[in-house]
Structure formats: C-alpha cells, structure tokens
Amino acid sequence: MDGTALAGDGAITFSFNGRQLTGQVGDTLAVALWRNGIRRISTTRKRHLPLGLLGSSVSGSLARVDGIPNVRLDQAPLHAGAKIRSQNCWPAPGFDMTRALSLVPAPWLYGGFEHGALMPRGPRAFRLAEKVMSHLAGMADPPAPRPGQVVPGKRIEVDLLVVGGGVEGRRAANAAVTAGLRVALVTRSVAARTGRDPARAAEPLAPGVQLFPETEVFGIYRGGEIVAAAPLDATRGGLVFVPGRVVLATGLRSMPPLVAGNHLPGVIDDRAALSLALDHGVAPGSRISVFAEDAAEAADLARRLAPSGATCIFAGPRDALRRILGRSRVTGVETGTRLRCDCVIFAGSARPDPGLPFQASGTGCLQLRPGTIPARVALAGSCARPLAPLPLPGVLDDDAYVCACMDVTVGELRHHITRGITDLEVLKRLTSCGMGPCQGFPCWENMAAVVAQLAPQAVQRVPRPSHRAPRRALTVAQAAGMEGLVAPDVSPASGPEGGYE
C-alpha cells in the first residue's frame, strides 16, 4: 500500500501540523511522513508553489521540529512525541494565504521581490517591508529562547581520512588499515544499512577503521590540512580532523530532469526511492514512472522497487519524459502520451558534488577560483571519473525549475541571457540560484548547462561560483564547541583579491 504500511511493534507516535500520526523505529521524520501519505511540507521561495518531500530540493524537506526551524526531515531520526510543523506559511498551515502568490505571473518575480524598485525608502516602512519580504522568502521564525549549552567538539588526528561510506571509500579505508595506518571514515549513512547497495555488504569495514556514521563533512581548509565535520544529530559535538591524507569517495547523484513539473511532490531520485523501498519497506507510490539513462536501466530500477508493492506503469529513458503533470502533487507524466501516476523516479545524468574538491583547491579571498587539488587530497571511485556535458532537452521549457529552492526557472535564466547576462556568478547573484540550503548542488550544474545551451558563445570569467564552507547546516552550539580546536590561520590569501585566509 502506498506509503501507509501498518505500524508494528516498533510503532512511534508523532504529529504533523497538529495531526497525530504513527511511524516506525528506524524511520527518519521524512520517511515517517511518507508512510502516512504526506508528500508536501514546504513551498518555493517566491511563488510558494509546492515542493516535494525527499525531492532534489533541500528546502522541500525543511520544517519546524519541536520548535526548532529548518530541520532536515530526511536526516533527522523519528522520536516519540516529535512535533513537526510546516514553516513559511501564514496564518496557519491549514489556511495558508501566502499560496495566493502562486497566482502571480512568474516574470513579475524574476530576481526576487527584494530586487524590485517597490521597496519603500522611509526607515519604518522599509523595516516593515523587509520583515514581510523575509517571511515571504521563506525565512523561518527563530526558535523560542531556551537555555543553551555548548556541545563540545573533538579533535582527531589520523593518517588517512576517508569521506564516503560506499564501496570505494571502504576499500580505501581497509587498504590503509592493512598497511598499519590510523584511519577514520566519515559517512552520512547509517552504518548498518546496506539494502540500497548490496556491494557494501560484500566490502565490510576492517575492525581498525574509526567509523563516524550519520556525520557530514562541511569544510576542507588549508588544502586538506584541516577537515571539519558535524553529526546529523545536533546533540553531538562537531569534529575537527587533522589528517595526513584525505580520500574523497563521495559518489554521484542523479540529476533532476529539466522539464516542467520537476519540483512537484512525488518526484524523487533513485537513491530516495530505493531507501524507502529497501531500507524501510515503504512503496514510493502506488503507480510509479521510472526514468533512467536507458530503458534497460529503468527496467532494472523498477524491478528492484517491485517488492515494495509499487506498480510501475512506465520505465524508459530520461529523454522520453516531456513533462510532469500535477498542481499540488504528481498526477501523471507526458511521454508522447499522458500516463497517470503518483510518483516519478529519476536516475542517470549523475554528477559528483563538487563542493569539497572546490574547497580543497579554491584560491582567492572574495571570488574563489578552483585550482589544482593538493597532493594530500585524492578523489576515488565514481567521483573521480571525467564527466560528459550534462544532457538537456533540445527545447527547454521555461516552466522547468533550475533551482526550486530559490524559485529559479529556465524562463528566468532565459530572461537574463537574452539581455546579454551570461556570467554564472552574476546570474547567481541576480536570481539567487544555488544560494539556498542546497549550497549550489545540483542547481549550478543545471544553470551552467542552460547557459551553455542558450548562449554557447559565452565566455565564463570563472568556471563556477564559489563553494564555501560550511556546506551543510550545523548548530551554533556545535560551532561554538569547536572553538580552540584549530589555531587561526592569518597567512595572506592567494588570488587577485588579496586579504587573509
């Protein structure tokens, strides 16, 4: 049954917008909501269109939990009595008047409301307008004041730090331990789960590897001399690694199809779908459409999802997808004919997250530029392979989202490109593309591909905007707990801007 698997002995009760629900032990908050048929908890920044839970947009999985705003539901574990509430809605989730913004023509809000000439000049009126605009733009209310306490961090010195718990990361860690080195491995995954990737089970970690599961590296500093990470559980302190060498084995991520409707609740990638089906026993949908690099890959993915109870009504190549249908959630797809479904699963056109390699090699102070990755940092596995240009539809639909978090469409980019603005950094600043919680991935990949297709003659001043640390959220308490673990670096910065690192 679609997302409504009955709770067994491990039932956990929680609430969403005041409604009592039940999840299972081992669920994240997002999975628990999916079990109960809930696909939408958030909206886009400007027009307040629905964003999908577990979709490619991080904002689609952000909500207020137990009074704390901007909690990532796809990373936070379910706990008894959790109170989840939608944010960026007024006056209440059940009666959200901000949805009226979806009726505003998209071109009226190109660049965002804060770029317009309608902001009042008087100090009082400006402050009031600024408050309204920040609310409309998705700035969640701060948490209620409560006694705070610094979460102490930890400094860890190792010979080798491996980032990524996939097969290649495990192999690198095991080989180093066998050679007698001190090794730590950091992974966002839960250590015990191997259902999505059976190859992991075939490559168990050697006993000597220090494992840090459910932890994410958010910054590489001084060319890899310092690597900072934070557990997904905010009650645990941050980590500062001082490694002799670093191996980045972060894998690839499937890119969302650049077609209209790609922001809708019910559009998820292969990783999320397999996690629902294999790790949690929840069907991604009752009627699913699967799109991959080719028909064979799509059929294989559909076969792996079949035990969850989902019925696949279409499995084919990505270029067969013309449009995703629906207003508040997926209702079908266009593939030459219209097909009814409630979930679209995409795979292929995969790309590595460039954030950490950029941080390791970036030079400059204000506008960073990617340089040569230092010798102490190595890429391993699929993220080290050369990349082909990102394939796009031959005719780009202006309604397709390039950056759904910040409400940036192909149409908005086309609006600026036809006026001669093709610099990626300038486009980022004009549209806010990639400036949300995704931190530029996959949005800047999409933006660069759109510019390359619409303005192939454009010469880029920099190959991509800057990926700065931190690349993921960490709490103030976690950041404060890392004070004193690393001595400040006041060496002059390289690059034309000068300044200090």
Give the per-residue pLDDT at 127.
81
CA angle 288, 289, 290 (to 5 degrees): 115
Of residues 111, 39, 133, the one with CA closest to residue 409: 111
Q: Between 476 and 116, where is the model more confident? A: 476
Per-residue pLDDT of 53-101, as tens digits, reads 988 889 999 999 998 888 999 999 999 999 999 988 878 888 888 888 8
Judged against a pLDDT cut of 50, whether residue 498 lies above it is answered with no
CATH topology of domain 11-102: Ubiquitin-like (UB roll) (3.10.20)
Residue 124 is which amino acid?
A: R
Per-residue pLDDT of 223-278, as tens digits, reads 999 999 999 988 899 999 999 999 999 999 999 999 999 999 999 999 999 999 99
Give the per-residue pLDDT at 255.
96
Residue 9 is which amino acid?
A: D
The structural domains of the chain, with segments of one domain joined by +, span: 11-102, 154-249, 267-346
pTM of the model: 0.90
CB neighbours of 19 closer than 8 A, spacing ≥ 6? Answer: none
Distance (Å, whole) CA 124 – CA 252 = 49
Distance (Å, whole) CA 70 – CA 140 = 7
Annotate 21-76 with three-state secondary structure. Answer: EEEECCCEHHHHHHHCCCCEEEECCCCCCEEECCCCCHHHHEEEECCEEEEECCCC
Distance (Å, whole) CA 30 – CA 61 = 7
Within 10 angstroms of residue 460's Cβ, the number of other Cβ atoms is 13
Of residues 445, 436, 439, 437, the one with CA closest to residue 464: 445
Give the per-residue pLDDT at 382.
92
Give the per-residue pLDDT at 493.
52
| Percent of the residues in the chain that have a pLDDT greater than 90, as a whole number | 66
Give the per-residue pLDDT at 128.
82
Distance (Å, whole) CA 330 – CA 325 = 6
Give the per-residue pLDDT at 9.
63
Judged against a pLDDT cut of 90, whether residue 471 lies above it is answered with no
- The tokens for 135 are 């609310």
| Percent of the residues in the chain that have a pLDDT greater than 70, as a whole number | 89
- Rounded to an integer, the average pLDDT of 366-376 is 89
Among 3-12, 116-125, 205-214, 221-230, which is the least confidently predicted range? Answer: 3-12
3-state secondary structure of 13: strand
Span 267-346: which CATH code? 3.50.50.60
Judged against a pLDDT cut of 50, whether residue 196 lies above it is answered with yes
Judged against a pLDDT cut of 90, whether residue 197 lies above it is answered with no
Among 215-224, 350-359, 459-468, which is the least confidently predicted range? Answer: 459-468
Give the per-residue pLDDT at 501.
46
Within 10 angstroms of residue 398's Cβ, the number of other Cβ atoms is 14
Does 11-102 match 267-346 in CATH topology? no
Per-residue pLDDT of 151-194, as tens digits, reads 999 999 999 999 999 999 999 999 999 999 999 999 998 764 55
Judged against a pLDDT cut of 80, whether residue 201 lies above it is answered with no
Annotate 85-114 with three-state secondary structure. Answer: ECCCCCEECCEEHHHHHHHCCHHHHCCCHH
CATH class of 154-249: alpha beta
Judged against a pLDDT cut of 60, whether residue 147 lies above it is answered with yes
Question: Are residues 260 and 397 in contact, defined by beta-carbon separation less than 8 angstroms?
Answer: yes
- Rounded to an integer, the average pLDDT of 103-124 is 74
The sign of the dihedral angle between the CA atoms of 101, 104, 105, 106 is negative
Give the per-residue pLDDT at 123.
82
Judged against a pLDDT cut of 90, whether residue 341 lies above it is answered with yes
Q: Is 411 exposed, middle or buried (0-12, 13-18, 19+ CB in 10 A)?
A: middle
